[in-house]
Amino acid sequence: MKNRLKYWSLLVAACVFFTACSDEFLEVEPKGRSLEDNYYKNAEEAYNGLVAAYDPIGWSSGDYITKLFSTNAGSDDFYAGGGNAQDITNAQVFSNYTLDAATGPQGSLWSKGFSGIFRVNTLLLKLPEIDMDDNVKARYTAELKFLRAFYYFDLIRFFYEIPLLTEPIDPDNMYNVEQVPADQVYDQIEADLLAAIPGLPTSVPRSTEAGRATQGAGHALLGKVYLWREKYAEAAQEFAAVNGTPGGTSQYGYELLDNFAELWDTSNKYNTESIMEVSHTSKSNGVWDCIGCTEGNILNIMTAPRDYNVLVPGQAPDYVSGWSFLPVTQDLVDQYDRIEDKRYPATISNIDSLAQAGTLSYTPGYQNTGFFLAKVAGKQSDVSTGGGNYELNFYQNEYEIRLADTYLLEAEALVRSGGNASRAQALLDAVRTRAGLTSVPATVENIMQERRLELAGEGHRWFDLVRTGMAASELADKGFVAGKHDRLPIPLLELTNTKLVQDPAY
């Protein structure tokens, strides 16, 4: 049901009642099967609807497709990998750029985005009539507009032209929905964020509300939107509101962690560097019968080495035996100063060298390079002992936006707009200093290189390459065609009996 526009016409019961998608804020037990007309009558039901609107951010599909998996596979930093050339075909064809309307990650990514938008629009329509505290209602409204902007920003970056929906679609009109020009979608994203930011809290209690949108997240997302639209001065202003003094503590309490490796400690969720985080939990007890139902982080098992076995305890990482997806390219490895750059051992594991030294054994998977993504590879210490299948129930969160990301984006925006050069330099230096590296000039080329090293495996590289026009050269050896592969095709099933039109490039 996640593969059709028809999803929008489903009853709200199918959208609201689900298992927890976080171990903090997003933790709601199933309540029943009220229909849309009878639901959203009180504050509790409004809260459940808000949780439902957040939920698709962390979705994985039944075919294991996620935004992070897809964009990594499509970048020059990783291959799709896995067991063979047909292992999760929808990722393989994105990695080697043989995707078409019928095959690729687009079906899952389209469904995820529009499912989130459907949930947002439904609650926004109902919210004014719900008997609840006006201040709480205002905050919910701001959060929902932030979420709609977030979902649409992903969708418009992935697809050429898409429908723009600001209210629920009546089932009778579902098949008459048409696409609009991209600028119209971007205008709505900007409008939603500008309306949302004043109503969002400056911070949230991490023990009870971690994962909810804040003003900092709103400014950061708006800055990214401006950057994509080449509104560089405006982007720099939004990022500056988030970043504060480079290397210091911002007005929202954000600051770089001293130790880069601590970012990947699974007990260090929602730390001071986290601006927007994708929540995962072991409490959903995901099982093989419904892979898409889990709220666990499936990339942990997917990226760990295949048939992994430690032969000398204490001399090798405590990874689980996984499926060897997203092997790191030699080109990415070669970009690091493997001695000086403190990020390297926290980002990449050279499993092949350890196997040759006799400290471990593993089976090389498809497109194996011997290098694995240490940021994500699942660890034995993180295996869930609860219900469900442990492979589907890892609880490591993902960073959607973190402070080093916005530091480098502000530096880029300043350089491109001819803004404060000394501030751009200070932002770049702060990131490099933590990595143990000396200063380099704050040029666009150096900033983009720093983004590649700092954010490797976090899903930004493919977007950066497309946004800057670098994809045609950097991805040429993977089969990338400029003017076509900088977006995905409209999913084939969405074209059946609808007014949607396929991207001319496909």
Domain boundaries, the chain: 288-396
Cα–Cα dist 289/202, whole Å: 41
Which residue type is seen at 197?
I
pLDDT at 385: 78
pLDDT at 35: 54
Q: Where are the alpha helices (DSSP H) in 204-303?
A: 215-228, 232-243, 299-303
β-bridge pairing 162-163 and 179-180: antiparallel
Q: What is the pLDDT of residues 78-105, one digit of tens each?
A: 999 999 999 999 999 999 999 999 999 9
What's the number of CA atoms in the CB half-sphere (13 Å) around residue 117? 30
Mean pLDDT of 324-331: 98
pLDDT at 173: 87
The answer, yes or no, to whether residue 27 has pLDDT greater than 70, is no
The answer, yes or no, to whether residue 481 has pLDDT greater than 60, is yes
pTM for the full model? 0.94
Q: Where are the alpha helices (DSSP H) in 197-281?
A: 215-228, 232-243
**Could you tell me what percentage of the chain is helix, strand and coil, using 3-state DSSP and rounding each to the nearest 5?**
45, 5, 45
Cα–Cα dist 294/309, whole Å: 27
Mean pLDDT of 231-244: 98
The answer, yes or no, to whether residue 22 has pLDDT greater than 70, is no
Which DSSP letter does residue 161 get?
S
The answer, yes or no, to whether residue 170 has pLDDT greater than 60, is yes
pLDDT at 87: 98
The answer, yes or no, to whether residue 10 has pLDDT greater than 70, is no
Q: How confident is the model at residue 36 (pLDDT cuts 50, 70, 90)?
A: low
Cα–Cα dist 34/245, whole Å: 50
The answer, yes or no, to whether residue 420 has pLDDT greater than 50, is yes
Mean pLDDT of 278-293: 92
In whole numbers, what is the pLDDT of the chain averaged over residues? 92
Cα–Cα dist 33/15, whole Å: 10
